[in-house]
A and B are shown apart, each in its own frame.
Chain A
Amino acid sequence: MRGITKHYPGVVANDHIDLDLRRGEIHALLGENGAGKTTLMNILYGLAVPDAGEILIDGRPVKIAGPSDAIARGIEMVHQHFMLIPVLSVAENVVLGEETMANPIFLDKREASRRIRKLAGRFGFELDPDTKVQSLSVGQQQRVEILKTLYRDAQILVLDEPTAVLTPAETEEIFTLLRNLASEGRSIIFISHKLHEVLELADRITVIRRGRVVGERRPAETDEKELAEMMVGRAVLLTVDRGQSHPGEVMLKVTDLHVRDDRGTEVVRGIDVEIRRGEILGIAGVAGNGQDEFVEALVGLRRVAAGRIWLNGRDVTGASPRTINEANVGYVPADRHRFGLILAFPLTDNLVLTSYYKPPFAHGILRDGRATLEAARKRVSEYDIRTPSTEVAAQTLSGGNQQKLIVAREFDGDNTLLVLDQPTRGLDVGSIEFIHKRIIEKRDAGTAVLLVSAELDEVLEISDRIAVMYRGKLVAFLDGRTADKNQVGLLMATGGATDEPREATGSRT
């Protein structure tokens, strides 16, 4: 790719970017949220048309006008959000668009299954072509996505943050697979902002900042610190100094809490916990052990099956989300597109989502457009939300900026309690640093903080106390400063040795 330039209204997404990819190479593309990585890959895949620049394959300039052109040239993309049809089988998903026909009318499903099984076997993973995609775990779904590209014999694979939703074990498996593919002579572009992964996997690393290439490195000649600085453009603290905590009185008290999931299965099975003012309780656990349901019950979004929740001495069991919110509880949901934002609404409306009905944003039933706009401008600059204007829809922002939008809203005012579910999922180092600092500030100002994260490192770095959640229970409490990573990891996986080690079943969509 040579001299690729792409403007969007108000933003230069790509500014004369050069990128070369060699045969059999894993090339990492590193950059902050909104740096232009996704735009660049969309251009390569024909989803966007560059304003200037050209793409060359094997030295010849090619024109890629749409995904079908890209596919015809052996370029395949695995998107961050999977493009699979849940009710169809693995085989049906894989052959979609490239169906093997028994005759002009009917599909040859048996032949398709046979070829998929063979392909999967060649790369050393097991997948039953006849299972429905909806019953697969996230990691398995990812393999289906990759299988799809291999079925079409991709020579160039683009993976957009493939590990964002994977457990550490699944991540390792995907890495092995990618190395195998590269050794066969296929080329891979790996988009990520997890520095240690990039260093572990890539042959070469290109760093992009604000639409420009700022440098190229080999893993051997660099380290996390330098890469982070290149990405952000300044020195970055990879670990925020959490300082000392000064816990005050008990703010949140939960006794024997039981909560069911959407299917009616009890997934929170008796939680007792207290969080004091001025302390951060981190909950470590493999995704899918009831964490999301637990926090949804805390903020009033999910019914409590049994047990009690006290906030500041007041019983708030079964209270509405608004009641909880009016008690100055901030909530950062794990799924920001579901509970966190109204994507079609402008930033202004999203920033007052929980306060639109009260002064200064409304007087009676009349909304105050000016007050809303002023508050939005203030928070956009305070939280460095990158946007062309406060009037654009939230869906036009990059994931990291969407997350900052939610944090800007929920961290506003004097929080009594902050409930943070995966607050930095999918964010780059700069944004993570920013959010971690804010969390610590909140704690020091006397807020009780509940932090749920599937990133063990995150829990270890900023928590004052750590609880390990396993199959709906808090199985262990540890001191955040002395807890040992391996010990916590073991507790996460086994729940404390009394149970048989179980495989993680983190199947969320």
Chain B
Amino acid sequence: MSQAIARLPRPLAIARYLWSLIAVPLVAFLLALVVGAIVIILSSTLVLKQPFDATLPLTAYQALAQGAFGSFNSLVGTLVITTPLLLAGLGVGIGFRAGLFNIGAQGQFLMGAVGAVAVAANMQHSPPSLAIPAALVGGALAGAAWGFVPGFLKAVSGAHEVVTTIMMNYIALASLAWIVSGPLKQAGSNPPTTPDAGPAALPILLGSTGHLGILIAFGAVPIAWFLLFRTTRGFEIRAVGANPDAARYAGVNPRLMIVLTMSIAGMLAGLAGACTILGVSHRMNTTFQTKVGFDSITVALLGRSNPIGILFAALLFGAMRAGAPPMQINAGIPVELVDFIQALILLFLIANVVLRRLLRLRGVTGAEQTGFQTITRSYGEGVT
């Protein structure tokens, strides 16, 4: 009986497995495009009173794709925007695996940027070979600290991470404004800005904007995958997420894992912030803002908390963000369409149960904590 192992031919079995993994994200994306197309037509005919044009959505999507992948420079632009999404998305995804709903990527990102700038400001006379790693580590540690606090609070008092990470986001925002206009303000700057990253600025490797951070982000994917699926630490993280009681019996300390996971998540989001400030803007003003923190949650969900899935999800979101401005110029469709499509993707993902039924998919065998479960059971649950 135990020999009666599934007799499906191997390639077919693998194809089925892959399909069961990507079907829902893929269909969610396609449905979002369809609804987006309807809205494009409706808004152009009803609001802008233009003549009915059934090909307008195609024109828009084509312009979007063109803007994201059309030339070498646009491709590099996509990779640059993908970089922080990928790093922060990996952090959120690892959190989901441990059953933690980390909404704090936003604050962790900002503090990572602040940490990197602070180190850079104090290393204006060091060689890049020293300044760059130091600034990156500074950003990663600042982000990790911002993740550590909610993790620690949850471990010792059961304070829910959804609440505490949101609070930490506000604290990060206010701290940033103070640090930029206070301790790190460059003398004489008005409005206040920090000094230029100087020697800590990341070198450009690709085209005119492709900085070192791209390599760091793509390199983080196999590392995160390896951590989760090939190390004992990753096993412990996943075990705590899937069944904290059994994990405790297995000898894992769930509190420790919560603190560790939140710190890793913060570190990755902080690194995202560091790469953005050191690789793109090089200096920071009080209104330094980003959507990365919240986009990364959708990225992690779309990638099913799997590092490889997150890679594709981040590329998709990066491409949409990169292609949006050219789309507005060339097809006259406002960039906000991309926000709209991203929101629709999230909506369809959360309607995951309905999609599965429509697609006649059975639950993926071995379905672990992959984000949806974390969100749905996330409220009002303490740790024992």
Contact = CB atoms under 8 A, between A and B. Distances in A.
A9 interface: yes
B167 interface: no
A321 B2 contact: no
B249 A356 contact: no
B4 A11 contact: yes
A344 B372 CA distance: 14
Interface string B207-245: 000000000000000000000001111010011001101
5 contacts: A320-B251, A339-B249, A367-B230, A387-B2, A393-B367
Contact of B246 (A340, A384, A388, A389): A340
B15 interface: no
A345 B366 contact: yes
Nearest to B235: A356
Interface string A334-350: 00001111111110010
Contact of B367 (A10, A344, A381, A391): A344
B21 to A, nearest CB: 14
B251 A338 contact: no
A42 interface: no
List the 10 shortest-distance A-B pairs measured between CB atoms, nearest first.
Answer: A322-B251, A10-B6, A393-B366, A342-B243, A344-B368, A353-B250, A339-B249, A365-B231, A344-B242, A357-B232
Interface string B354-384: 0000000000011111000000000000000
Contacts of A9: 6, 8
A321 B252 CA distance: 9
A345 B242 contact: yes
A340 B250 CA distance: 9
B366 A384 contact: no
Interface residues of A, number: 43
A384 B250 contact: no
Contacts of B235: 349, 356, 367
B10 interface: no
B251 A341 contact: no
> In which size bucket is the chain B interface?
20 to 34
B239 A342 contact: yes
Interface of B: 1-2, 4-8, 230-233, 235, 238-239, 242-243, 245-251, 365-369
B369 A381 contact: no
Given A10-B6, A381-B2, A385-B2, A321 B232 contact: no
A9 B7 CA distance: 8
Interface in A344-385: 344-346, 349, 353-354, 356-357, 362, 365-367, 369, 380-381, 384-385
Interface of A: 9-11, 210, 299, 301, 320-322, 325, 331, 333, 338-346, 349, 353-354, 356-357, 362, 365-367, 369, 380-381, 384-389, 391-393, 396
B230 A354 contact: no
B363 to A, nearest CB: 9
A106 B210 CA distance: 63
Contact of A339 (B7, B239, B245): B245
Q: Which of B6, B233, B247 has the most CB of A within 10 A?
A: B6
Contact of A338 (B239, B246, B366): B246
Nearest to B7: A10
B383 to A, nearest CB: 14
Contact of B232 (A301, A338, A356, A388): A356
Given A210-B1, A339-B249, A345-B242, 6 more contacts: A301-B249, A344-B367, A353-B246, A357-B251, A384-B1, A388-B5
B232 A362 contact: yes
Nearest to A9: B6
Contact of A367 (B7, B232, B368): B232
A132 to B, nearest CB: 19
Nearest to B230: A367
A335 B366 CA distance: 20
Contact of B4 (A10, A331, A333, A346): A10
Contacts of B242: 342-345
Contact of B250 (A356, A366, A389, A391): A356
B365 A393 contact: yes
A345 B239 contact: yes
B251 A342 contact: no
B133 to A, nearest CB: 24
Contacts of A366: 230-232
Given A345-B366, A365-B233, A393-B367, A386 B247 contact: no
B2 A354 contact: no
Contacts of B239: 342, 345, 353
A394 B251 CA distance: 20
Contacts of A353: 239, 246, 249-250
Contacts of A299: 249
Contacts of A392: 365-366
Given A9-B8, A343-B243, A367 B251 contact: no
B248 A321 contact: yes
Q: Which of A11, A325, A341, A365 has the most CB of B within 10 A?
A: A365
B251 A325 contact: yes
Contacts of B230: 366-367, 369
Contact of B2 (A333, A384, A396): A384
